[in-house]
Structure 1
Amino acid sequence: MSENKKLTYESPEDEEVDREQPLMSHLLELRSRLVKAAVSVLVVFAVLSPFMKHIFDFLSQPLMAALPQGVKMLSTGVVAPFFVPLKVTLFLAFLVALPYVLYQVWAFVAPGLYKREKRLIFPILASSIVMFAVGMLYCYFIVFRMVFMFIAGFSPESVNFAPDIDAYFSFVITMFFAFGATFEVPIVVMVLNRMGVASYHGLTKVRPYVIVGAFVVAAIVTPPDVMSQCLLAVPLVVLYQVGLWCVKLFGKKDENPDTQS
């Protein structure tokens, strides 16, 4: 074997090390991004922690407005008066820090994407944050006030309508995520079209099934009353139609123009 061949020869162990080094660098970068995201949430939480009581009072205002005069929520747990406001504040801190958290996700994923994919993902992330926030605001200012007044109005005189704070927090978080996800429907419809998964004609064809599915999902997620179900199902159907309009204006055109309606 010549001297040049000896110099260029690599053992299988060397090749394995070369493959492991990029993997280790990616794992180290992922750890760094996760630490930065977690620190951002903790910093916001530290800033908001002195206002835990005020934050919980603001969150409970729609329910308090529906309760009879002088009635307050109950706390059946010993530590619930402390932990529930703490969880509410931590949830709010995560929402405030969410743009920075998503930026860290973007910074980790972006180097492996093509330019066309980068141009597509950034608007999706930005619009998703905005629409999720709009869904939560709709839930807080409209849905909660109407639902709690409706439920309190049907409460018998012999029943003391005073919900537990832990159960109220779980209910609020569930509703926030349900309505936040509902307001993502136009973005999902647009992405499915841009990725070539569904055409405008196909999305229009399944619209009757979406309407039925919206009421089924609303019946599962929301409290068992007609008002709550309609307040979730109707926006879901309307937002699906908005997504169809966006696809018709900005999405991929069907191969057969006669199929568009």
Structure 2
Amino acid sequence: MDAVQAALIALVQGLTEFLPVSSQAHLVLYSLFTGQTYQGLDFDIILHFGSLVAVVAYFRRELLAMAGDWLGALVGQGQTADSRLAWLIIIATIPAGILGLLLKDLAEVALRSPLVMALALIGFGLVLGWADWRHRGQRDEYSLGVRDAVIIGLAQALALIPGTSRSGITITAALFLGMTREAAARFSFLLSVPIIAAAGLLGIVDIAQEGVETGPLPLLVGFSIAVISTYACIHYFLAFIRRIGMQPFVAYRIILGLVLLLFFLRS
């Protein structure tokens, strides 16, 4: 992998990781159109760490408040809105964490095909469109309860199906629970922090066994572009959905799914 290829893949990853459109599907499309094989595990991990740095940087105030109040609650200083939100993030992470460990091989091998991705893009895209169309929600992330966190966490586990989109399915569940679009997106982004961090740490264990395949320059380029593009994506996405909503992403998912179906039927 050279620096140009690393930059292109990182840009695709960074711009789609937090949009409800499936970064996996876009990376598959990149491979189909360019004929280049998907990057190694080490490069994949560095891109996700880039996205993690971006989301932590963007929500640094919220995360610091949550972490501080959560630790304070543990030592008996009492619960606050931020400590409660931190607990809800932890609760919502558990279903995807458990199912991710149990079904990792199935998701990475048996379900990783253009057909599965295409059907997931279209099917879950239509569900997102329905949730957004019936949108009447006024709740923010601080109004959620344990039951809501469990429901969103179970929805996040569906992202094990390639093409689903982790952000897309969690935003969909949050909209059905009556949250505003911006609050649904914010909770989805905050929820990404522990799951991306955990996946990255597990990946590092695998790298320790298999070794590093990618050179230092592509890794540095990929990480840098992933951070910048992910940060910009989060910022503009929140502004976009406030004014326009989710329907453009629904249409995009359907078109992308049809393109993948075309490739599947022709192969």
TM-score interval, normalised by the smaller of the two chains:
under 0.3
Q: Which has the higher contact order (CA 8 A, sep 6+)?
A: 2
TM-score, normalised relative to structure 1? 0.24
* Superposition TM-score, scaled by structure 2 size: 0.23
